[in-house]
């Protein structure tokens, strides 16, 4: 192969690769907890004013909670519901104050009422190294 033909082939391959990567610019990695529209995995979703808040377990490719971080009023019940994606998951409080069973089946639920103000962080113990984590920030009227 002549040198100029080789350069043309390499240039074409580089252009094709760059085009393919450009199509991935808005993509979200499984388990990152974000979305392609720009919602950050660390963005806190305000659910104050709701008596019960739903959180999906095994969302976004199977290795995230959705929403991962919520803000609720004291006395709110948070209900985690398993999607059946990503294998066995649990909800384990980093401080050890609560823990669900390790479950893989779709439709399983675990719930907890949050009374104490503060931020309650939790992880999925089998998938915490993949970034499967979440938090519940509890506020009361006196926090305003």
How far apart, in whole angstroms, are the C-alpha atoms of residue 95 and residue 63?
Answer: 21
Angle formed at CA 15 by CA 12 and CA 16, multiple of 5 degrees: 85
Spatial CA neighbour of 127 closest among 38, 34, 33, 52? 33
Query: What are the CA-CA distances from residue 66 to residues 42, 72, 96, 116 (Å)?
Result: 11, 15, 21, 22
> Do 138 and 116 form a contact (C-beta atoms < 8 A)?
yes
Tell me the pLDDT of the chain (144 aa) as tens digits: 455 555 554 444 444 443 333 343 333 333 334 443 334 556 899 999 999 999 999 999 999 999 999 999 999 999 999 999 999 999 999 999 999 999 999 999 999 999 999 999 999 999 999 999 999 999 997 665
Q: Tokens in use for 61?
A: 């490719």
Taking domain 44-143, whether its CATH number is 3.40.309.10 is answered by no
Would you kindly state where each structural domain of the chain is located, as residue ranges?
44-143
């Amino acid at each position: 192969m002549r040198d100029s033909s080789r350069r043309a082939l390499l240039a074409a391959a580089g252009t094709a690769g760059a085009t393919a990567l450009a199509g991935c610019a808005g993509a979200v990695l499984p388990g990152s907890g974000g979305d392609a529209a720009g919602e950050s995995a660390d963005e806190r979703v305000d659910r104050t004013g709701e008596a019960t808040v739903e959180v999906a377990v095994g969302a976004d490719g199977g290795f995230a909670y959705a929403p991962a971080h919520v803000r609720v009023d004291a006395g709110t019940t948070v209900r985690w519901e398993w999607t059946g994606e990503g294998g066995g998951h649990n909800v384990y409080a980093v401080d050890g104050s609560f823990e669900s069973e390790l479950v893989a089946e779709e439709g399983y639920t675990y719930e907890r009422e949050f009374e104490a103000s503060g931020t309650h962080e939790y992880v999925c113990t089998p998938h915490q190294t993949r970034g499967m984590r979440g938090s519940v920030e509890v506020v009361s009227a006196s926090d305003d």
